[in-house]
Every structure is written in structure tokens, then in C-alpha cells.
A and B are shown apart, each in its own frame.
Chain A
Amino acid sequence: MLPNKLLLHIKPAPVIKMLSLTDTTFDNCIKCTVCTTRCPVAEARPDYPGPKQAGPDGERFRIKSPGLYDDALKYCTNCKRCEVACPSNVHIGTIIQKAKARHDGFKQGPREFMLSHTDLMGTLSSTTAPIVNVVTAMKPVKKLLDKTLGVDERRTLPKYTFQTFRKWFGKHAGNQERFDRKITYFHGCYTNYNVPAVGKDLVAVLNAINIGVRLTAKEKCCGVPLIANGFLKKARKNADLNMTQFAKSLDAGSEAVISSSSSCAMTLRDEYPDMLDVDNSAFKDQIQFVSRFLIKEFASGNKPEMKPLNLKVAYHSPCHLIRMGGVVHTVELMREIPGLELTLLDQNCCGLSGTYGFKKENYDTSQKIANKMLEQIKTTEADYIITDCESCKMQVEMNTDHKVLHPVTLIAMALV
């Protein structure tokens, strides 16, 4: 290996304008290979080099010569399990995503466009939701999508809602101004276009502890599917818009920006600066996943009255929430519900990873990764599976008979 001094004299590979596409934490690597022991993709497919080689090891070579870029990097799901295990704080997932962007490692066809532009697809689909839902559930259509776009026909495609969350909220917004304390809710694409119930539950829970909810005037997809498909410029544009909106709403008296999707929250808080070079330091601490915000309120005594929920639930922790250090907040939140019998499932990856598992070439990997989680869930006697992530929810509901709820929905169910 070249000493660092020499590396300085080597011209780095070309970078996309404005974005820094190298993450220098590869220098911290102590070569313990712990990351590779935790990578679900490396476990499922031997042709993926694993985080150590795809991340810090490979980066040293790629910087030297772009010709050494390994096409297999496309298999990384950016689940970030490797980063959680690394004792040396190497941002392995970020290094891999940046390398993909630097070396044109992303395939960007119509399928990638459709899967990643979730807000655009949501707008188009929700206006004709009843039709879209029927059509996308039809076998011949799924076959067509499979053949023409490479969206695997074995996947259940997300259902769209006719009335978006924003539309519903519009009718209730006035009501929210009566509260002294307010937060801004970043609803994200999934709550807006697919499952508005989570957003409505969030409003109910926050109102129950005397906090009003606001939306920003405009909201764009956080960017997680865009980053995953290499549309970094578009992701950055979204990030800039969202940040401006957040700044405005915090200025106007909101205490925090809250997200009910673990992946959106991680992106807004961590990926904006790390991946997209968008500086959110002025209010990074105010961007929070919902259970973190709620448990802090509960801990300070601002707790709603709750009736016993005599239910058995099993909790599945999403990868990105693990990475954010947020699992403890959701678990503690659920422990506040009287009567609830809670078990924690092992921390296995669901394998769907947003848009990843929808792609035909990833279907088998995705299902293989899911197996450990699914085996455990199938033998679990629970009324509901609980998880914070929409992707995990889709995966569990497609593969088991269990119904999956968001933790905030559980709290809403306990409200008196």
C-alpha cells in the first residue's frame, strides 16, 4: 500500500460538480474485517466483495486508478450495518455510494427513474389511485413491468391512496394553530401517497400532548431513493429545497422537524451533510425521528393518558434506525404503553432496502436476506409486527400473513 504522503500526489478521479465524492474515513480502517461479517449482501451473494473490500480497501485502489473500479459495488444496499459494527468509525456505506457516483456505477434507465422519483410517481398515481392500484396488482401488468422495466413481477407493488396526507391535512391545518407549541412534520412520500394513516396517527398523538403540527409549504422527497439510484444532483436539489423550508418553519416557531420514516430521518440528519454536502449543522439536532421526540417529551412528564392495550407485538428494528442509534427510543416508547406485551426480534435486515428489492436482478438476493427475519416472524405469536420503516413493512406483509404497524399507530391506539 502507498504511504499517505504519496497518495496526495495522485490525481483523484473526476468529481461531479460541487459534490465532494470522496470520504476520507477510509484512512481509519484497521483491517479487522468486522464489517464484512455483518454485511447481509455479502452473506447472500458471494460475488459481492463485501464492505471492507468494496469500501476502504477498494477506495485506496480507485483513487489511484479509476480503472480498478469494481462493478459489483452496485449490489450494496446502503443498509449501513457495516458502519454500526466498525470499531474505527469508517463511513463504509458512504464511501461505497460516493464511489458508485464517481465512477458511473449506477444504472439509470426508466426503471430507476420511476422507482426513485417517489414524489413524482406519487403525484401521478394518487390522482388516479383506484385505477393504478387495480392495474398494478394485475398479473399481465406486472409481467409487462417485469419484461419492459425489470421490476420483478413477484413483488407486491405499493398501493396508492386517493386522498394524499397533504390533502387531508389541509382540512385540519387550522386546528393545529391553537397549540402554543408546534413542530414541523416531514411526512415523506410514503405517508403522503401510500399510507396517510401514520401521519394522521402522528397528529393525534402530538395533539394529545398539546403540540400542534405544521407542514412546510413545499416538501420534496428526502432523497433516499435518489441517492440509492445515483441521482445525486436531483437529491441535492431536493435537499436544498427541504433545508430552506425547514429553516423557514423553525424560524416561524416550530421546535423541531419530525419524520416518521426512519430512512427519511437518517437522510435529513446524516446523509445531507455526509453524502450530499448539504450543511444542516445549524439545526441538525432539531431534525428528529418521531420516537426520539416523543420519548423525550414523555421523559419530561409530557405524556398522554393511555389505556391498556392488551396486545402481543414483536418489534423489527430497521437498519437505518439502528444506524441512527434510534432503536432504543422506539423500544422505550412502546414500553410506555400499558398492557402491551413486547418482544424484540433479532436485528436482521429485511432485504427489501427501498427500491433495491424491486429490481428483477436483486429479487433473489433480497429474498435470501429476508429469510432469517421471515423465519423468526413466521414462528412468532404476535397480534402485530411493529416497525418504523415502510420498506420493512412491505417486505413483511408481502411474505407473511402478519399485519405490520408503525409504533406511532400503536401509541395512537392507546390514547383515551
Chain B
Amino acid sequence: MRYDSIIIGGGLAGLTSAIRCAEAGLKTAVISFGESSLTFASGAIDILGYHSDGSVVQSPFPAVAKLAESNPNHPYSKVGVDTLKQGLHRFCHHLDVAGVPMASQSEDNHWRTTALGSLRPAWLYQPGMMPLPIKQPAKGIQRIAIVNIAGFRDFQPSLAVAGLKQHPAFQQARITSKTITARELGLETRNPFELRSIELARALNHADNFQRLTNALGGAAGSSDLLIIPAVLEDSLGRSRIPELSQKIGCQIMEVASLPPSLPGLRIANALKRQFNKLGGMLIEGDLVEKGNFDNGRLVSIETHYNKDLPLYANHFVLASGSFFSKGLLSKQNRIIEPTFDLDVEAPSDRSLWASGKFLDSKAHHFIEYGVSCNQQLQPTRQGLPIENMYCVGSVLAGFNPVAEGSAGGVSIATGFHAAEQIIAAYQACAGN
């Protein structure tokens, strides 16, 4: 079986690459073992949230442009700010078409609120997430009610209250937490202590239940300026119902992503898959790429768990297998490896340098920066030799710290898009000859 391009890993980075390739008319396949880390993600897209000194980035694009001087090995420095912008533009277009529109506050970052009540800088948000301005996040907000549904354990309003109160801007605000009982909502739940976001979304989608929720939230809102609820509402196509709810109650409502499954993250994953399918792409889920066949500096074909004797050939490959969490990287005794192809990895062999002593360090651990080392074109090496028809994208890459920088989403989209553009350019060059 032969493809123009094969993408290994179907997370944000891999699907961005795949959609771009399919859009350009290339015969494209994505092979992905299990759902990606978008299940854990907020559903907002961060680009660059913090400078290297820890200060907050107000406007990400100029800051990304500047990185090239201070940190030439950063993936952003390799792909450039124009590619980042183009990639984001296409990303928004596809999500829009798939029914999950994303928005930004012009060129500036905003604060997104986490389930723990902390604020993180991000650039794109989904309707219902309610971005807070970087300079004065609490402007116009005096009274906040944080509301949960009893039995939903993946969100703890008291933690959110405590977290938000720690932020200097919210010190004057009155923040309370409330709980709506499942009975108030008329939910016939089998096990009222084990509710999950997806189950609530399904149950609350029924017109009667939605009306009861509207009434109950209206009561809980009282005279609040802002109501914060966990992301447990969406229609059957995965579209947020917060704007509708907000209008009915007459109060600003903000949804925050809960512990997994994070519905806002899944909305993005599903929307991207729908688009890829619509463009004629081949999505192979639940199969694992186990081996690559290399020849003369090229990856010729790959073997998967279900296709050991039937290799998949492609002219170009994109490795988007994620970081440690997705097993795109593995840690061994004194070595960090890329397990699928054994590509060269950038990481010190002294294990004591990998992490700082404290588990919950306010600074991110170093191991997050480790990954596959690549050249300016994002091409990796294997035993020191470059692989010319392969590109690495997303969190499998070395040279950036998504946690400390607040850059995971932007790097995934920019590098995914960049790899696809290079593959497309190679095809156009061929056609030109």
C-alpha cells in the first residue's frame, strides 16, 4: 500500500500535518494508537505565554519572532513566525468548517481559567471559555459563583475558589461555590457519584434537562457577574451550548475544562478527524507503528502491529508521536529514546539532570524539553545520519518546554503545518520538472 505521505500519531500536530497534505491533494494516511493527549488539553490554544524570565507575554507573535535571536534551536525559530500564522489561520478555518469555531482577542494573549482556578495565558479560545484580559483580568467582575453538579468528581469548585482568590486581581472579588444536585436536574443517574463530563453532556442535552439546568443555574447565579461551570455541556455534534445558556440566564458564563476527558479538547480532536475524513484522508486508529525500513538515508516503509507483512510505503513520513505521555518518547535507565525508529534524541545521559527534586516544582522539569533532535527543516537523524524524507512535529521534538513557556498548541500547529508545506513543495517541484 502506497501513500504520498504517512503521518504517525493523530494528535494536534499529526492531524494538522495530515489535513494540510490531504487538502493539497496528496494521498495521506494517519496511523494512531489510541486517543491523543488532546483528551487532556484545555481546548484553548496557547502560542507563547511566558518569556524565558517567567514574565507574561502580552502579544505572542512579536515574542515568537524574537525567540529566533535568543533561542535558535527552538522549533519556532526553525519554522518562523509567518508559518506559525499561516498554520493557525488554516487551523481556525478547518475548525470553523467542522463546527467548532475558535476566536482570539486580536493579536493579544488572554488568560484562560483552569479547573484549579489558576490563570494561564493562551491565544485561541472556544465560545463559552470567556477570555480574561491579560492586563486587568478582573475588570468589571465583583461577584463570581463557581458551580458544580453534585457527583461530578472531575471538578472541585472549592479548589477553584481557593485558586482564583490567590490571584492578586481577584483579591477584592466575592467568590462563592455552589452545587446543583442531580435531582434538581431530574437526571436519572445510575451511579450519582461517578458522573463523567461526557455522560453529563449527553444527559443535559435533552430539552427538559437543559431547561432544568438553566433554571438551577439562574438561581445559583443570583446577582453574580460571572458564573463558572465545568465543561459538561455540548450538543450532539460537540458544539458548546454556553452562549445559548448565557443568553437565557442573562449572566456571563465561563466553562472550564475538567479533568479528562476534557470535552473542549475532544471537540478539537473530533473536528480535525472529521475534516481529514472529508478531505479523503485515511485515518487508521488503534494500530501501532512498530518498525521502519530505512534505505540510504530514506525511510522507505513502515510496519504496523496489524501490517507486519504488508508494509505501508510513502514518499514522505511525519513523526507526530507525542511526548512521554503518548509513548512517543521513553525513558530508560540512563537514556531517553524515541522507541519507534530509534531516532537520535537530545537529552543528557546524567539522569539527575532530568528532573528537579521537587515533583510539583513551580518551574517545569527539564525532561519536558528533551526530544528528537532535528535540523532547520525538522528532519531527524538516525545514528548520526540525516533522514531526508522524514519530519518530526509536535511534542516529540526537542528544544522547547511547553509547560514553562505555555507553547504546546502553537508549536504543534506550526511544526505540523511546516512539515506539510515542505512535503507539498517537494511534490510541486517534482511536478514542475
| Residues of chain A having any CB pair with chain B under 8 Å | 32-34, 36-37, 42-43, 46-47, 49-50, 52-53, 72, 83-89, 285, 292, 295-296, 299, 322-329, 331-332, 344, 346-347
Nearest 10 interchain pairs by C-beta? A87-B34, A325-B306, A84-B286, A325-B287, A34-B35, A33-B261, A37-B198, A32-B260, A85-B35, A332-B1
B34 A34 Cβ-Cβ under 8 A: yes
B306 A344 Cβ-Cβ under 8 A: no
Task: List 27 A-B pairs, Cβ < 8 Å.
Answer: A32-B35, A34-B261, A36-B196, A36-B198, A37-B266, A42-B202, A46-B199, A47-B188, A47-B190, A49-B190, A50-B199, A52-B196, A53-B194, A86-B34, A87-B34, A87-B36, A296-B310, A299-B1, A323-B286, A324-B306, A325-B287, A325-B304, A325-B307, A326-B306, A328-B29, A346-B277, A347-B277
B140 to A: closest C-beta gap in Å: 36
A285 B309 Cβ-Cβ under 8 A: yes
A322 B286 Cβ-Cβ under 8 A: yes
A375 to B: closest C-beta gap in Å: 11
For the complex, what is the distance from the CA of A350 to the CA of B406, rounded to whole Å?
A: 42
B286 A83 Cβ-Cβ under 8 A: yes
In this complex, which of B35, B194, B266, B307 has the most chain A Cβ atoms within 10 angstroms of its Cβ?
A: B35
In the complex with contacts A33-B260, A295-B310, A328-B199 CB distance below 8 A: no
With CB as the reference atom, state the residue of chain B lying closest to A48.
B190
**Chain A contact residues: helix, strand, loop or mixed:** helix
Q: Collect the chain A residues with CB atoms within 8 Å of residue B197's CB.
A: 33
B192-246 CB contacts (< 8 Å) to partner A:
194, 196-199, 202-203
Partner pick for A346 among B1, B29, B33, B274, CB 8 A cutoff: B274
With CB as the reference atom, state the residue of chain B lying closest to A299.
B1
Q: Collect the chain B residues with CB atoms within 8 Å of residue A299's CB.
A: 1, 310
With CB as the reference atom, state the residue of chain B lying closest to A52.
B196
Q: Collect the chain A residues with CB atoms within 8 Å of residue B34's CB.
A: 34, 84-89
With CB as the reference atom, state the residue of chain A lying closest to B283.
A347
For the complex, what is the distance from the CA of A322 to the CA of B1, rounded to whole Å?
A: 17
| Contacts A32-B261, A33-B197, A325-B287 supplied; 6 other A-B pairs, CB < 8 Å | A86-B34, A295-B310, A323-B286, A327-B284, A328-B284, A346-B277
With CB as the reference atom, state the residue of chain A lying closest to B202.
A43
For the complex, what is the distance from the CA of A243 to the CA of B99, rounded to whole Å?
A: 49
With CB as the reference atom, state the residue of chain A lying closest to B260.
A32
B191 A49 Cβ-Cβ under 8 A: yes
For the complex, what is the distance from the CA of A33 to the CA of B274, rounded to whole Å?
A: 21
B124 to A: closest C-beta gap in Å: 22
For the complex, what is the distance from the CA of A346 to the CA of B238, rounded to whole Å?
A: 15
B35 A46 Cβ-Cβ under 8 A: no
Q: Collect the chain B residues with CB atoms within 8 Å of residue A43's CB.
A: 202
Q: Collect the chain B residues with CB atoms within 8 Å of residue A52's CB.
A: 196
For the complex, what is the distance from the CA of A47 to the CA of B199, rounded to whole Å?
A: 10
Partner pick for B202 among A46, A83, A89, CB 8 A cutoff: A46
B3 to A: closest C-beta gap in Å: 10
For the complex, what is the distance from the CA of A88 to the CA of B284, rounded to whole Å?
A: 17
A325 B284 Cβ-Cβ under 8 A: yes
With CB as the reference atom, state the residue of chain A lying closest to B36.
A87
For the complex, what is the distance from the CA of A103 to the CA of B326, rounded to whole Å?
A: 35
A328 B1 Cβ-Cβ under 8 A: yes
With CB as the reference atom, state the residue of chain B lying closest to A269.
B306
